[in-house]
Amino acid sequence: MRVMITGITSPIARLVAAELAAEGHEILGVDRRPWEAAPPGVEMHAVDIRKRAAEELFRRKRPEAVIHMATVTHLVAATEERYRINLGGTRAVFEHANEYGVEHVIFVGRHTYYGAGAEQALYHHEDDPPMAVSTFPELADLVAADLYACQSLWRFPRLATTVLRLVYALGPTGHGTLASFLKGRVVPMVLGFDPLFQFMLERDVADAICASLRARVRGVYNVAGPQPLPLSVIVREVGRRALPLPEVAFQLMRGRLGLPRLPPGAVQHIKHPVVIDDAVFRKATGWRNQADEVRCLAEFTRAFPPPV
């Protein structure tokens, strides 16, 4: 199968590309950044998915499936630019896919779509509303991209559209929101709060995406891995020291004195859990995570030992 992967130079997308190429699929890699060491079977194209050159690539290469991973999760990036990339890029992918005969499009989203709050349900299901727009405004562009992908289920009925909402990735590349939060010697927490965090090994994230391609599932699916753990336990297991701060002090010290740089809305996610139920995805695809929470934390710690 000819599979286009947008945003292919991200660590998770590289794992997806390598797995699919090893299975014999022809991979079209699309990214503004180069991937010099791309494995055999991956044909790279230095293209911005929002530009005319991307549409020409769809027209010439006629991919059978597209895995859209070209979204920005860097929460301190300018809001306007994030909207252009996340929503504009997602819209372009689906419109080109519909126009040029793509059979299956997979949108790779995040479980933070559901938002965190004191009154939120502990386990979120696929039909729960996107409360992140109010509890975490900096995620509004990612929520908008997710909703656009969901609309494609009825706007482009010819396409088999898959919307995945994945938990945090954790592992040896150190890529992602949770990994960045845990890399310092001290991890700040909001005094009086110890939320559950849900994560999975990077290779399991990639394998779940590949599983959705193999099964060609249509619809919206939560994707999780091991059981969630309290933040304090995660911090301890990766050899860091938790620093509980009053919420006012937490807000004032964001990005200072060696503490992680976070947008204001992120504080809700340090206070309250976002936990998802992925039973529907597991039943539809037969997928199972290979690594438990202990292995995930161990692989991360081996790659990023506690700073001295």
pTM for the model: 0.94
In order, the DSSP letters of 167-206 are -EEESTT--SHHHHHHSSSEEEEETT---EE-EEEHHHHH
Q: Which of 62, 69, 46 is nearest to 99 (CA)?
A: 62
Task: Determine contact, residues 272/120, Cβ cutoff 8 Å.
Answer: yes
Spell out the domain ranges in the chain: 2-171+200-226+275-290
d(CA 27, CA 63): 9
In order, the DSSP letters of 35-86 are -TTPPTTEEEEE--TTSHHHHHHHHHH--SEEEE------TTS-HHHHHIII
How do the pLDDT tens digits run along the chain, 308 residues long? Answer: 999 999 999 999 999 999 999 999 999 999 999 898 888 889 999 999 999 999 999 999 999 999 999 887 655 455 667 777 888 999 999 999 999 999 999 999 999 999 988 888 889 999 999 987 777 777 888 899 999 999 999 999 999 999 999 999 999 999 888 998 999 899 999 999 999 999 999 999 999 999 999 999 999 999 999 999 999 999 999 999 999 999 998 888 887 777 777 777 788 889 999 999 999 999 999 999 999 999 999 999 999 999 87
Amino acid at 143: V
Structural tokens at position 308: 């001295």
Task: Determine contact, residues 286/215, Cβ cutoff 8 Å.
Answer: yes
Helix (H) / strand (E) element for 261: namely none
- Find the helix packing angle between 202-215 and 11-22, rounded to 10°: 50
- Is CATH 3.40.50.720 the classification given to domain 2-171+200-226+275-290? yes
